A and B are shown apart, each in its own frame.
Chain A
Amino acid sequence: MSAPVVTPPDSVVRTGGAVSFQGVSKVFMDPAKSSHFVAVRDIDLEIPRGRFVSVVGPSGCGKSTLLNMTAGLFAPTTGQVLYNGTKVGTTVNTEVGYITQADNLLPWRTLRGNVLLALEIRGVPKKEREDRARDAIARVGLTGFEDRFPSQLSGGMRKRAGLARTLVYEPETLLMDEPFGALDAMMRATMQADLLHLWERDQRTVIFVTHDLEEAILLADQVVVFGTKPGRIIHTEDVEFERPRDLHEIRRTPEFTAVWERLWRLIEGEM
């Protein structure tokens, strides 16, 4: 971050949270057939503090469900989700920042109002609030659009607004559900690099859901591959590229191509 970032002093050396899924399954009601169906099952996954984990897999395999449970929005049907050793699901997990798949901006608040939201809730003083919001908006390249309502922003801009809204309060763990999905290639590359930069600085824990296998491998320490019917983990791949990473370089190495090919086959087999 080369911009003068106004951050609380404790945020620089902060280790993220540890997430642990132990025998987790989630069953939903199918309202059409008024029957139950298994969205995900047999999830066993340990995410240590400060790790960057990507989750890939076909649509509907339960990636968002995994994040929702990590955020404690609902409890798993069996097993448990632990956050820093504490069970979540009966209570919401307020230690995570959740960038949801839909942008979920408040339509009656301007871009600035949306970015200020978490800081208002946390009682950050007004002056500091404004500074941090301005900085977060600049970081996602939306300076000049502060007074627009979400309906007046493009899809990609809304996506970035959602990012700014979460990054601004520096939660120790980031849950990101296809955060760069609607962005053009250039913007996407910039945001990927910036996310890595941020992560390398603060060592937050990141769970990063994406459809883009390339992105998953480039960014993460570990790629978790989901299969479908039922949703479950079919493979975890440790990614060993050196940090800090030059994404452009890595993309062209034979190692990257090899990993990509292998994981692609796996996912293909699931479709």
Chain B
Amino acid sequence: MTEPTTTSESRAASQSPPSPASKIEHSTPEIDRAIAAMGGLGWRRYKVQMTRTVVIIGLLLAWQVFSGRPGDRFVLVDEFYVSEPTAMVEAIVAWWEQDLLVSSILVTLQVTLLGFAVGALLGMITGFLFGTVEFLGRVMSPIMAALYAIPRLALIPLFLLWFGLGIGSKLALVITVIFFLVYYNTHSGVKDVDQELVDVLKVMQASRWDVLRKVTIPSAMTWIIAGLHISVPYALVGAVTGEMIASNRGMGYLIIRASSQFNTAGVFGGILVLMILALGLAGVVSLLERRLLRWKVKNRE
């Protein structure tokens, strides 16, 4: 402590310099071999991925074989009810050729992302406000619970009345869905903050703002990210639901149109596109998580 150079760590470091052959400090040949053999770990992951691929291909093949025109060989399910994977892809390609696919995806994505962003932001702000200002939280929490209890789908007629058939009513739906999910998670996150950490900061002369910025927000971040994870698919659900009920654009509209034309393959194709979109959005949140919760991810390494 008095002389930084004689601490136990640095002493140990100066006694056993890393062997030049190894990339790892203080390593032994045995450790190097063990690390090299971590390929074993890679192999396990490889095995999982391989098996998974085989399972997926198997399922798709079975699906392809067992659904089709009634009476054909192996066919168990009428393609009128469950269309084959190839038909799904054909339906999607058809939309592509009619210049409908990309524009519909963009319309749906726009509502999803915009609604998600606005809803999440409002949810976070409200969550922090009601979570940190005790008085406000007490006053508002039963009111929030009552509002949350309203089935949001029942609001669609009102939204149509207020915001029209365009993007406004769909945005309103998505925002009301996302807002509450993120609000509740943020609120719980703020309540979950370790009081001892707050005390430590207060003794250091921290202002309320310091405490919020340096403890409350980073601590609640785990919960907020969890909230975002849960709510991303709901944003898509909200957008598509809105489009199905009243719209002439977007993936929801494409699906409804296909269904009204008894185009089962189109319905399945639309669902496939939505699934891919949902996976993509979840991936984006995961990236965000890995950045913001770096300290957590590192724990497990």
Q: State the A residues within 8 Å of B (CB).
A: 1-3, 71-73, 92-94, 96-98, 100, 102, 104, 106-110, 117-118, 120-122, 138-145, 149, 151-152, 169, 184, 186-187, 190-191, 193-194, 197
Contacts and interface: CB of A to CB of B under 8 A. Distances in A.
The A interface is mostly helix, strand or loop, or mixed, namely loop
Given A141-B8, A194-B2, A98 B203 contact: yes
B206 A193 contact: no
Given A149-B295, A152-B298, A141 B201 contact: no
A102 B200 CA distance: 11
Contacts of B199: 71, 73, 92
B203 A194 contact: no
Contacts of A104: 194, 196-197, 200
Interface stretch (B71-79, B132-140, B155-163, B214-222): B214-222
A140 B199 CA distance: 23
A140 B204 contact: no
Interface of B: 1-4, 7-10, 13, 194, 196-197, 199-207, 210, 214-215, 218-219, 221, 293, 295-296, 298-299
A193 B200 CA distance: 26
A194 B1 contact: yes
A187 B1 CA distance: 8
B4 A108 contact: no
B197 A106 contact: yes
A3 B2 CA distance: 7
Nearest to B218: A108
Given A117-B214, A121-B210, A122-B205, A151 B7 contact: no
B200 A98 contact: yes
A191 B1 contact: yes
A152 B301 CA distance: 10
B201 A121 contact: yes
Contacts of B201: 117, 121
Nearest to A73: B199
From A2, A138, A186, name the one whose CB has the most chain B CB atoms within 10 angstroms: A138
- Please report whether the interface of chain B is mostly helix, strand, loop or mixed according to DSSP: helix
The 10 A-B pairs with the shortest beta carbon distances in the complex, nearest first, are A141-B7, A138-B4, A194-B1, A94-B205, A118-B204, A108-B218, A92-B202, A108-B295, A149-B295, A151-B299
A8 to B, nearest CB: 15
Given A98-B203, A151-B298, 10 more contacts: A3-B4, A94-B205, A104-B200, A108-B218, A117-B204, A121-B204, A121-B206, A141-B4, A144-B13, A151-B295
18 contacts: A1-B2, A71-B199, A73-B199, A92-B199, A104-B194, A106-B197, A106-B215, A108-B296, A117-B214, A118-B205, A138-B4, A141-B1, A142-B7, A143-B4, A143-B7, A143-B10, A149-B299, A184-B8
Given A93-B203, A144-B10, A186-B8, A106 B218 contact: yes
Contacts of B9: 141-145
B2 A193 contact: yes
A70 B205 CA distance: 15
Contacts of A97: 203
A100 B210 CA distance: 20
B1 A190 contact: yes
A152 B296 CA distance: 10
